[in-house]
Structure 1
């Protein structure tokens, strides 16, 4: 019996009690069950009597007494005890608890998926680095977390589109092109330009695509260089993200917003909503009407749109494309964007508490990381991947909340020891796969499953952690916190290692294969599945061997 199944069974008991006239109360769609602090108190506990007792006009303990008899009749429930003011402690019989192992194996990759966010249509924008240079350490954390958040959202039933906003408009693109032009002609880096060996590499690619580029005038060359260097740099960004296990569904061009008239259309639409003013030749959006600290200029007095005007057009584009929920993942230096983006949503007629969510991530650092030889003044993501490995980076970034600053210790990540979290979890998966292979070589097959044989205390612990996995995934999605998955995998790994040391899957050479061996193989393989599914949600591989 999974925790979700037990939750549904308790809700059914509540409805039966209401129908029988035991009490009158609105039955919640979901009843929360959790592990008691001490396993001596049972397998699962619920405080539903404390939540509903007063609403039913009863002392919580009396409410618990009325419910306990019905709970005891649930198939698979061995006993129900009432503790304190009305906590219900539930103990499952061994067969009901152990049945979970077969459920997980049969569900396979689907185990852990849930429908908590079914019907939600989400656009997630993250990374969105300027296409004027390689991805660097500042983009690393959001690349990992953004992708993992998208994965847990999809696992919880949401329809998710990963989107990368390409900042390919504005003067920085002209400076970028001029930097490549100067390098092609042996000139110094222009004021405010881009240094680094990668500019020379881009120049070489431009030259291969357009051999006569050096013969063009500056005026004629800049548009050509701008386009060719931009395409080459964006290709490099996509390749680096792919090496990091991150794929985007949509790459959306800021330049397209301007060239298609979307910016002007956005201003007109906001004006129709009644929140636009014309002051001294400029066009303003009254974002202070919705909690912003100051109003924002959309069109300058000289007729040039601001970056905020492009933000407005981009937001309305997402709305027009049917994304009811828009999640923005921004860096630590973007706190000021939260209120203005929420005010923009409100001005567009949306609910800023439902239709837009802005997540701010804190900075990360890596001890001993060196500046890129290619870029010269930054730490490139590609160098971090080559140095530490994508798995180690992804897992390390995934196991901390986004709003907590963090420093990665490379020496720790290189150790094949239990104090290295990614090794600890990956090794548990590899160990479980090796145990499965070894068992099958000794004639153990999953031909028999007798859940009552899984009664060892380490088996109870392992099953409880496996059973909580779907609810952990749902919570990770709801709170946008994939670190919940990482931390839970560490609990599963620890419980597995303890079980492995106490309970043999394959018999000793002198012992016959028994049903307990066959049944334990189910539990072993169920653990493999949960570890693989969880690592997949973090964008981390589940190795067969280590």
Structure 2
């Protein structure tokens, strides 16, 4: 069971309690679960009972007891304990957890860079409208990619003729022409969705000359739309302080590990093999959350959410890499652990490449 699976299981318990009239409170959109802190009980914990106590008019421990009764025997959950004022603590079934991790890694590898794509917005038609300004154009382009990845049909309208220089940033004038040809601007059922990020303050030509297309796009998208986008020389510095460099380097390093594994005769773990998760808990959690991040970034028209997620994946990949090096060292012979770690590295690189592609940023194999 992954954290996302556990969150869904707890949410189902809340819905059941409300449906059975045992709990009178609004059902939250999602339930947050976190790794227990040192000294805590079980594998994961949730404060959902404290969140629901006020609306339900009950003590948090009473809410926790109601939910615990409905979580007993849930697949993948070995035990549920209540601690403190009403925290739910979960101990997972080890075999179920191992199977979930195995299936997750192989699912990422099977789906490739389209892992996380879905049909949550299938059948929806969206018309994005933006000002004739470079940050607005790049944001609209990224949002269009995210919406399309969730199944939406998207058109983009600009308040003025699209700037020819935008093509050098990956914003194709062809996309505007094609989308405008599909339906008139006043097509029924398509209310405009305006995008109004804080303007960049520079022209496309200036940004390209100073940063190049990848760093310029990342800089324009990394900050939330209501914040000013930092567009300084730090975006092209090859240092740890540069988030874009860390993300792209993590991708390149993951690809290099897979190539080197092949050279050393380490084959990647196949679908029927378990995955050694030593040092990889956080990485697996983030890989598992990737589809939800893509869906939320599309729904909220917020490519910055995806950028921050990729930063977290890169950091978790480096932690995993340092904790359990995927490749055999010296005279060490390749083992099942090396095979599974190579699969994990490949999955991480795949998620990073797919995420960068949706942002319109290249993912080089070598840096």
TM-score category of the 2 structures, normalised to the smaller one: 0.7 to 0.9
| Offset of residue 97 of structure 1 | 5.6
2:263 counterpart residue number: 441
| Offset of residue 436 of structure 1 | 0.6
1:85 counterpart residue number: 85
User: How far apart, CA to CA, are the structure 1 residues paired with 2:85 and 2:335?
Assistant: 46
2:6 counterpart residue number: 6
2:185 counterpart residue number: 318
Please, which runs of 5 or more residues in structure 2 have no aligned partner?
none
| Offset of residue 435 of structure 1 | 0.4
1:113–1:71 distance in 2 versus 1, CA, 3 Å:
farther
Residues 1:241 and 2:166 aligned together: yes
Contact 1:125–1:164, Cα closer than 8 Å, also in 2: yes
User: How far apart, CA to CA, are the structure 2 residues paired with 1:151 and 1:83?
Assistant: 44
Residues 304-344 of structure 1: CA distance to partner in whole angstroms, max 9, x if unpaired? xxxxxxxxxxxx9534x134341123xxxxxxxxxxxxxxx
1:68–1:398 distance in 2 versus 1, CA, 3 Å:
same
1:158 counterpart residue number: 152
User: How far apart, CA to CA, are the structure 2 residues paired with 1:15 and 1:326?
Assistant: 34
User: How far apart, CA to CA, are the structure 2 residues paired with 1:487 and 1:145?
Assistant: 15
| Offset of residue 450 of structure 1 | 4.2
1:61 counterpart residue number: 61
Q: Which residue of 182, 193, 197 maps to 1:327?
A: 193
Residues 1:408 and 2:195 aligned together: no
Q: Which residue of 283, 295, 314 maps to 1:462?
A: 283
| Offset of residue 73 of structure 1 | 2.6
Q: Which residue of 481, 486, 493 maps to 2:307?
A: 486
| Offset of residue 446 of structure 1 | 2.5
Contact 2:283–2:316, Cα closer than 8 Å, also in 1: yes
Q: Which residue of 490, 495, 520 maps to 2:341?
A: 520
User: How far apart, CA to CA, are the structure 2 residues paired with 1:39 and 1:110?
Assistant: 36
| Offset of residue 159 of structure 1 | 2.6
Contact 2:251–2:352, Cα closer than 8 Å, also in 1: yes
1:393 counterpart residue number: 216
Q: Which residue of 92, 98, 102 maps to 2:101?
A: 98
2:207 counterpart residue number: 384
| Offset of residue 158 of structure 1 | 3.0
Q: Secondary structure at the match of 1:542?
A: coil
1:72–1:39 distance in 2 versus 1, CA, 3 Å:
farther
Residues 229-280 of structure 1: CA distance to partner in whole angstroms, max 9, x if unpaired? xxxxx7xx34x2222111353349x9xxxxxxxxxxxxxxxxxxxxxxxxxx
| Offset of residue 90 of structure 1 | 3.3
Contact 2:10–2:31, Cα closer than 8 Å, also in 1: no
1:438–1:78 distance in 2 versus 1, CA, 3 Å:
farther
Q: Which residue of 112, 120, 124 maps to 1:120?
A: 124
If the length of structure 2 is used for normalisation, what is the TM-score? 0.84
1:429 counterpart residue number: 251
User: How far apart, CA to CA, are the structure 2 residues paired with 1:87 and 1:322?
Assistant: 49
1:226 counterpart residue number: none
Contact 1:25–1:56, Cα closer than 8 Å, also in 2: yes
Q: Secondary structure at the match of 1:506?
A: coil
The structure number with the bigger radius of gyration is: 1
Residues 480-506 of structure 1: CA distance to partner in whole angstroms, max 9, x if unpaired? 221111112111111111211221212
User: How far apart, CA to CA, are the structure 2 residues paired with 1:27 and 1:406?
Assistant: 37
Please, which runs of 5 or more residues in structure 1 have no aligned partner?
130-138, 168-233, 255-315, 330-359, 366-378
1:273 counterpart residue number: none
User: How far apart, CA to CA, are the structure 1 residues paired with 2:122 and 2:47?
Assistant: 27
Residues 1:506 and 2:327 aligned together: yes
User: How far apart, CA to CA, are the structure 2 residues paired with 1:2 and 1:322?
Assistant: 42
1:97–1:481 distance in 2 versus 1, CA, 3 Å:
same
User: How far apart, CA to CA, are the structure 1 residues paired with 2:339 and 2:275?
Assistant: 13
Q: Secondary structure at the match of 2:280?
A: helix
User: How far apart, CA to CA, are the structure 2 residues paired with 1:166 and 1:242?
Assistant: 16
User: How far apart, CA to CA, are the structure 2 residues paired with 1:110 and 1:101?
Assistant: 14
If the length of structure 1 is used for normalisation, what is the TM-score? 0.58
User: How far apart, CA to CA, are the structure 2 residues paired with 1:118 and 1:91?
Assistant: 37
Residues 1:146 and 2:145 aligned together: no
Residues 348-395 of structure 1: CA distance to partner in whole angstroms, max 9, x if unpaired? xxxxxxxxxxxx322334xxxxxxxxxxxxx64235324421111111
Contact 1:123–1:325, Cα closer than 8 Å, also in 2: yes
